[in-house]
Structure 1
Amino acid sequence: MTDATSPARWSGTVVLLLASSTGGVGQHVRSVARGLTAAGASVLVCGPAATQDQFDFNGVGARFTPVEIPASPTPADSRAVAALRRALAAETVQVVHAHGLRAGLVAALARPAAPVVVTWHNAVLAGGLRGQLSRLAERIVARSVRVALGASTDLVARAAALGAADARFAPVAAPPLPAPRRRRAAVRAEFGVAADQPLILSVGRLHPQKRYDVLVDAAARWRVRIPPPVVVVAGSGPAYLQLAARISAARAPVTLLGHRTDVADLLAGADVAVVTSDWEARQLFAQEALRAGVPLVATAVGGLPELVGDAALLVPAGDVDAVDAAVRCLLDDASLRADLARRGTERAATWPDEEDTVAALVALYMEVAPDHAGPATPDADTPSTGRR
């Protein structure tokens, strides 16, 4: 991060609100809470108690108050609205910043006196009644908030189309991974990967949106390669049983690892990273793979093309043949793997980092709550986020 993006001091109180999360949104809120606290803000995180257990917002200097917001709309939303109102009544709050559509809806229904900012992290993909309810929630949120932030430009366009008066792009930076704790050989030995065998890695929540069924079906074809690659998927979620059954039926060389805290180690041992999602904004694993110099195959959906540029092989969503061909191409061409590894690290160096993200948020909070800005950091030149 350059001095031009060093965050100003901001002494106000911000409420960061999130719904049920086991992955990227929770990691992002923790990162933001840490950065805002360092910038002088008083940070109150509100969300399900399970998010505090997993992400330990208290450990980065924030306070935490439980507000149980389930992943899907339910009658319990009224209790979440009441709980948020109680939390807000106990504070002098300058900004309420909700993360995700579910949290955004609760914030909108609570009608706080403070300006509401909502970051849209995901697109609505569900059909049927759930999809109808989610699209209704989108309209309510878009028309109720002071500023709608989109983690990818398609989300910004969606918010604007639904009536957001002020919609802006706000890229979400993946928190940097720690250095690997194990050598490459040790990581590969855990999974029985021979020296000449490729190790293919994917990391993400086991959810239908991630389309791991596509990866499993492609991997089943790789069983006849010599030597056959080993495919591992790190993550937990509701699709575990269906995926395990599919892997067994297809006799695919795929191992579901469950939740892992050693993604840096897994990347150190991997030869290829794969993302097969139907939609993503700026997926954290895609960022982690490029930063680590691991060649990436990813679907050309949402914000992924603008994130990776020409530093990954992009394929259509839901296309087993395309995933199969792209991975084979990488496995058969060491020079292409090396070229993508180089381009990946170069591309990653151009992305905003966590400090840039916090600097932009401080500038936004100072804009929407100007009476609560603290003194600027000496020699800091915090840019305005601008209106779009």
Structure 2
Amino acid sequence: MTPTSPSPLRTVQVLGGGNAGSSAHVRSLAAGLVARGVRVTVCAPIEADHAYDFTGTGAGHIHVPRRSDPASVAALRAACTGADLVHAHGLHASFRAVLALSGRTTPLVVTWHNHAHAEGARAQFLRLLERRVARTATVVLGTSSDLVDRARRIGAKDARLAAVSLPGRGTAERLDRAKLRAELGAVGRPLLLAVGSLDRIRGYDVLLDAARAWRSLDPPPLVVIAGEGPQRAALQARIEDEELPVQLLGHRDDLAELLAAADLALVPGSREARSVLAQEALHARVPLVAADADGIRDLVGDAAELVPRRDPDALAEAVVRLLHDPERREELRDRGTRQAATWPTEDETVAQVLSVYDELTQPQPLL
């Protein structure tokens, strides 16, 4: 008799819609795991599969709404039946996975990609979710050291720093930089770029406060913000009322081109522990000014100008200083290239995750 080969590892990746960084990470992870012979099913809203094409990696996809109602939890529980391991990404997806796996011994790995944020009564609710997830998960992976520290403080049995790459970076080959700058209205003036959903946590109110100081420069720099969100009307009203040199571009699919055209990249605030724009900026050798919050220092080291969060004067001063200091800008470009070289590759990210999976699913030898 020939020995039977072991069955391939069966994993379920749970995504709750997620932000661009976590969704792209799940796609990259799915592709890498499938290439290594792992069976992968991604449970996510159908819109996420349309946007990130999880099935194109060879993974299966099951539509599970972002809600935590009984029907959605039951759908996720059914999808996880027979899985060797479940890996949930983000707080809300992790909480749904905890509910779906109740009473089962299936190992649960959760990755926290960003800092949960809310105000008032909802903030207390999120703290309760965090504690429930941290104490139930087999392993918590945090994308920054402060996320790992938080998981440990609230009761995680095993919390580790995650290796997370920047998947699928675009390129700006054949870019007509001058043409794009002309289209944006940045001929003969500096172009500053911010990217992200238009919500309060992104710090765009601080950015607009800082932009008031730039109106007096000659020529005044133009700030362009790529993204959509609930704060668009309020931000646009301020821009018009205060005659600020800021444009809201709406949703854009040409981040690489926008970065290549920009003189500086700005991250005035973020929920992401590993800001996608910060990573793209360093890869593209674009000097970065960022609020010192949410793990950004872990990510960029000394390769960016970091300013106190919610301090428009410090943000304005850092930008003006950089615009007048070409040697410092070149120094940041070189530091950015060196810093980006220290970040994990997609292969290294998949290898780390797979080592965690093997640790949790392989039979332990008897002592």
- What TM-score, normalized to structure 2? 0.93
The answer to whether the aligner puts 1:118 opposite 2:118 as a matched pair is no
Q: Which position in structure 1 is the counterpart of 2:58?
A: 61
Distance 1:11 1:236 in 2: 41
Distance 1:12 1:328 in 2: 54
Distance 2:193 2:164 in 1: 22
Share of identical aligned residues, percent?
48
Q: Which position in structure 2 is the counterpart of 1:214?
A: 206
Q: Which position in structure 2 is the counterpart of 1:312?
A: 304
Kept after mapping to 1: 8 A contact 2:167/2:346:
yes
Kept after mapping to 2: 8 A contact 1:10/1:362:
no
Q: Which position in structure 2 is the counterpart of 1:97?
A: 87
Q: Which of 80, 84, 94 matches 1:88?
A: 80
Within a 5 Å distance, the mapping from 1:1-388 to structure 2 comes to 11-70=8-67, 76-89=68-81, 92-111=82-101, 112-181=104-173, 182-194=175-187, 196-277=188-269, 279-370=271-362
Shift of 1:348: 0.5
> Could you tell me which amino acid in structure 2 is paired with residue 184 of structure 1?
R
Say how many residue pairs are matched: 356
> Could you tell me which amino acid in structure 2 is paired with residue 193 of structure 1?
A
Q: Which has the higher contact order (CA 8 A, sep 6+)?
A: 1
Kept after mapping to 1: 8 A contact 2:116/2:271:
no
Gaps of 5+ in 2: 1-5
RMSD between aligned residues: 1.7
Q: 1:123 to 1:292 in 2, by over 3 A?
A: same
Kept after mapping to 1: 8 A contact 2:259/2:286:
yes
Shift of 1:131: 0.9
Distance 1:10 1:247 in 2: 59
Kept after mapping to 2: 8 A contact 1:217/1:252:
no
Distance 2:212 2:163 in 1: 35
Distance 2:20 2:232 in 1: 16
Distance 1:239 1:38 in 2: 41
Gaps of 5+ in 1: 1-8, 71-75, 373-388
| Aligned partner of residue 186 in structure 2, secondary structure | coil
Runs (4 or more) in structure 1 with deviation over 3 Å come to: none
Shift of 1:175: 1.5
Superposed CA offset, 1:271-307 (max 9, x none): 0000011554111110110011000001111211111
- What TM-score, normalized to structure 1? 0.88
> Could you tell me which amino acid in structure 1 is paired with residue 63 of structure 2?
P
Kept after mapping to 1: 8 A contact 2:80/2:86:
no
